[in-house]
Amino acid sequence: LQDRAKKGDVLACARVAGIMAIKRTSDIIPMCHPLLITKSKCDIAPIAPAGTPAEDVPEGWAPARTDGQVGFHVLVTAGVTGKTGIEMEALTGASAACLTIYDMCKAVDRGMEIVDVRLLHKEGGRSGVWDRAERQAAAVEAVGAAGDAPASAPAAIAPAAPAPAVPAIAFIGYQNSGKTTLVEKVIAELTRRGLRVGSLKHHGHHGFDIDVPAKDTWRHHQAGSKHVGLICATRWAEYADTREEDEMPARELLSRYNDVDVVIIEGYKTEGFDNIVVARSGVDRLRGKSSLDLVDGHTLALACNEALARQAFDAGFATRAININDARAICDLIQDHL
C-alpha cells in the first residue's frame, strides 16, 4: 500500500496480470476456447484489519474478514458475447492477480495464502442467473425453516435433523476419549488436502476461554481451522468474538459457516449429526457407560483401539472400526462421505 515493494507497484501489476490472464485463459486451461472478450476488469481492495466496524472501513477497502485475516480482496469481472460462458476467464484472472501479488511480496512473507477463489455471480446464456449470495441465503433459510418443528409434533417420532448449510461431521465420545487430539489431526490432514475446514466445539460448563494457548479452540485454529466456534450454556463465540446470551443452537451457529467446505464438530452426542464415535477404551470409568452406546444411525465409523474394535465386532456392530491414531484413514472416510 505504501508502494515500497522492491519489484515495483504491486497492485498495478496485479491488475494488469488479471486482465491479461482473462484474455489468455484458453492458452492455460486445455478445454477452454478462445473468446472475443467484451469486458475485462480487475479491482483490488485492501482488507480492513480484524475488529474494524463496518462504518469505520475506509472507502475503497473491503470489510474485515470473520477469520481476522488481512490482505487484498480481488474482484474480477469479465463479459463476452457468444455461445459459451466466461466463468473460467474470470476465475483465471482472479487467480493470476493473486499469484502476482504473491510473487511481488513473497520476500516479505512466504506464508501468504490464496483463499476463497470462487464464482460470485453469473448471468446470461441458457442457465440464466447464478448468484452465490442468493444460494447461501436460501440454504440458511432452509436450515432455519427445518429447525422450526411444530409444537404438536408426535413425541414418539423424532423429526429428521435439519442439514447444516455446510457438511458437518461430529466427533463424539466421553470425556478424555481422545477427541481433541484426533480432531486436531483430522483438521490438519484435511487442510493439507486442500479443503477449507471449520470447527465447532461444545463446552459443557458455564463460561469458557477462547483464543487461549493450549485450549481446545486454540488447538483447532493452530491445526488449520479457518472458522472456529464455541458454545456453552451462557455464551457463544466465534474465534476472538464472544457474547453473553442464552446458548445458541449448534445448527444456528453452523448457518454462519459459509466460508468453508466442511465443519468438524467436537462433541454434541445427542444432536443427530453425522458422527464418528471416538473411544480409547470400552467403558467410561466416570459414568460406567460403554462407548458403544453412542453408536447410532448417524455413525460413520468407530475410531478406537484394537481391543474395542474386537469388542464391537463380537457384539455384531456393523459400524466400521478405524484405528484411533490413523487420521489419514479417517479423512479418507470423511472425503468419501462428502
Q: What is the mean pLDDT of residues 139-161?
A: 47
* Same-domain pairing of 204 and 284: yes
| Residue span of the structural domain in which 233 resides | 161-337
Residues 240 and 303 occupy one common structural domain: yes
pLDDT at 206: 53
Listed residue (172, 171, 212) closest to 334, CA to CA:
171
- Asked if residue 90 belongs to a domain, the reply is yes
Model confidence at 160, pLDDT cuts 50, 70, 90, reads very low
Kindly state whether residue 151 falls inside one of the protein's structural domains.
Answer: no
Q: What is the mean pLDDT of the chain?
A: 82
- Is residue 109 part of the annotated active site? The answer reads no
Residue 285 has pLDDT above 70, yes or no: no
Measuring CA to CA, which residue among 207, 197, 266, 214 is closest to residue 242? Answer: 207
Q: What percent of the chain has pLDDT over 90?
A: 31
Is the predicted pLDDT of residue 207 greater than 50, yes or no? yes
pLDDT of residue 44 exceeding 80: yes
What are residue 73's DSSP bridge partners?
A: 45
At residue 152, does pLDDT exceed 60? no
Its pTM surpasses 0.75 = no
Q: Is the pLDDT of residue 250 over 90?
A: no
* Angle, CA of 11, 12 and 17, to the nearest 5°: 95
90 — pLDDT class (breaks 50, 70, 90): very high
pLDDT on residue 151: 41
- Characterize 168-207 residue by residue with b for buried, 16 or more Cβ atoms within 10 angstroms of its Cβ, and e for exposed: bbbbbbbeebbbbbbbbbbbbbbbeeebbbbbbbbbeeee
pLDDT band for 158, please (50, 70, 90 cuts).
very low
Residue 138 counted as domain residue: no
Last residue of a domain, one of 111, 131, 151: 131
| End-of-domain residue from the set 131, 147, 179 | 131
Active-site option among 43, 103, 259, 261: 103
In the predicted structure, residue 23 carries a pLDDT above the cut 70: yes
pLDDT bracket for residue 142 (50, 70, 90): low
- Mean pLDDT confidence for 225-253: 69
pLDDT of residue 157: 35
Q: Residue 43 pLDDT more than 90?
A: yes
Residue 234 belongs to domain with CATH number: 3.40.50.300
Over residues 221-226, mean pLDDT: 81
Q: What is the CATH number of the domain that holds 15?
A: 3.30.70.640
In the chain, the number of structural domains is: 2
Query: Is 112 found in the same domain as 177?
Result: no
Residues 61 and 82: beta-carbon distance below 8 Å: no
Q: Band the pLDDT of 245: cuts 50, 70, 90.
A: low
Same domain, 114 and 38: yes
Q: Is there a single domain that holds both residue 106 and residue 189?
A: no
Examine the domain organization and report whether 117 and 167 are in the same domain: no
Instruction: For residues 188 and 98, state if they share a domain.
Output: no
Per-residue pLDDT band for 165 (boundaries 50, 70, 90) equals: low
| Model confidence band, residue 121 (pLDDT cutoffs 50, 70, 90) | very high
Q: For residue 218, is pLDDT > 50?
A: yes
**Do 81 and 38 belong together in one domain?**
yes
Same-domain pairing of 169 and 297: yes
Task: Compute the average pLDDT of residues 304-318.
Answer: 82
